[in-house]
Amino acid sequence: MILNRPKKLNTLNYEMKSRAYEDDPMVKLVILKANAKVFCCGGDLTSGYTYVQLGHWSFAASYYRKEFCLDYLLATYKKPLLAILDGSVIGGGVGISIHSTFRIVTENTIFAMPEVLIGAFPDVGASYFLSRLPGFFGEYVGLTGARLNGAEMLVFGLGTHFVPSKVFALV
């Protein structure tokens, strides 16, 4: 599955759909990657805000319902998932990748749950994965919107493997 909204930093919008490969016996592994220098910078807040301002609040509610259902689908997927996290992995981008069997990070990877910086709270299942970080580091990340690089993601178990980004340029 390829995120392909590079001009919008691969933000998730209502139109982005996932294909179900779970029941296809030919598919043994699903790879999540992006067509850009970022993996995914979260949800498309601009579109949601615009629709709410135009009086279409139900659109925003429907968008979040769809995003959270996608997060749940990927968290409970029956086949192995491999996420190539080259570049920014922020908010909703974390939600669609954090439960992958393999989370490959690079020297370009930047992880963040910055919702608190705009007056919201980390969603997309953050209370589940942040609470499992050692000590109080998950609380720190959730309350400050702190950014982590690929090496830090490996140390805290948010990434599973490190691969230099130049390897993906060959693929």
Would you name the residues annotated as active-site residues?
Answer: 43, 92, 115, 123
Closest by alpha carbon to 38, among 71, 4, 63, 67? 4
Q: Locate 136 and state its tokens.
A: 């109080």
Q: Are 60 and 52 in contact (CB under 8 A)?
A: yes
Sign of CA dihedral 98, 104, 106, 108: negative
Which residues contact residue 142 at a Cβ distance below 8 angstroms, ignoring those fewer than 6 apart?
113, 116, 121, 122, 126, 127, 130
